[in-house]
Amino acid sequence: MMYHYPRARTDLPRSTTALALAGSAHVWFDTVDHFDAAGAPVAAAFDAAALAQPRAVLPGLPSDRPLVMGILNVTPDSFSDGGVLYAEDSARTVAQVVERARAMVAAGVDILDIGGESTRPGAADVPVTEEINRTAPVITAIRAEGITTPISIDTRKSAVAEVALKAGADIINDVSALSHDPSLGVLAAAAEVPICLMHAQGTPQTMQKNPQYSNVLTEVYDHLARRMELAVGMGIDPARVIVDPGIGFGKTMAHNLDLLRGLSLYHGLGAPILLGASRKRFIGTISGVEEAGARMPGSVAVALMAAGQGAQILRVHDVAETVQALALWRALTGDGAAI
């Protein structure tokens, strides 16, 4: 395997020979490093223009700036916001989620990501029926409110996704990359919807028990390339595949930092990159903030670094703060003009 690593830049002024990275109006590159799995430099002929092709997520959504995906966890046990929106009274749960969705839309969210099963380290599996009962009613209610913002269903299970799509979801977000339930790929192909394939080493029950890699950047890359090939073999349009390196899913803090520093490598896969690092433990470890809900500033810092490497989707808890930070980042990297 050979890896093509564009050196993402937001320098001003921009070089006259530079190319936009994955269609971004704010991130560019004029150098591509080539190396093998051992990390040795390799001389290679490569069409760098392929790295400049826009990566559209859904028709109608911008492809020249990072999209903000707002997290709506309808769970009692998610690591940061478990129980915040979830209540034993289902009507109360629906009302709380709809209220939060409206607030996110007002703040400028691009995609709403709804999940009914925690995948934090050590989390137990949720039965299919329970997961459907948590997610489908809130999707139906959001659509009934007239909210047209695209909705992503965060699930590993085809039965859950099928009901969610019928209720009004537009995207499937699978943290198992079709390894938990391969029929989810068949569903995505038939429904002709985008699907996000995330890298994870192990399951939620085992993933943080001494994760190891020889080279985390290339091993995650190879895994995602194989899962993309599998998805395409199931009939999924390659243009509908999104990739996620899986920050915190079977990774140590050092692994997470390596992935973030080298994030632009994954543009070589030819798919939009989703980055989900919001409020995760490594942010608290580095900043000394134990409470997950208090990690907004660190989360925004990570989001801006990902934006600076051309990530197309930023999955976050703190929508308003991230949208505001990105507005300033875009102005500062757009020849000084507010956009």
CA distances from 320 to 24, 33, 324, 327 (A): 22, 36, 6, 11
d(CA 169, CA 216): 33
**What does residue 34 show for φ and ψ, rounded to 5 degrees?**
-120, 130
Q: Are residues 220 and 244 in contact, defined by beta-carbon separation less than 8 angstroms?
A: no
Catalytic site residue from 9, 55, 281, 315 = 315
Scanning the chain, the segments in alpha helix (DSSP H) are: 90-107, 128-144, 158-167, 183-191, 216-233, 253-261, 281-287, 296-307, 319-332
Length, in residues, of the chain? 339
Catalytic site residue from 120, 251, 280, 295 = 280
From 134, 155, 138, select the one nearest 94 (Cα to Cα). Answer: 138
Is 315 catalytic? The answer is yes
From 307, 305, 275, 301, select the one nearest 287 (Cα to Cα). Answer: 301
d(CA 54, CA 62): 10
Is 65 catalytic? The answer is no
From 212, 198, 200, 221, select the one nearest 2 (Cα to Cα). Answer: 221
User: What are the residue numbers of the active site?
Assistant: 280, 315
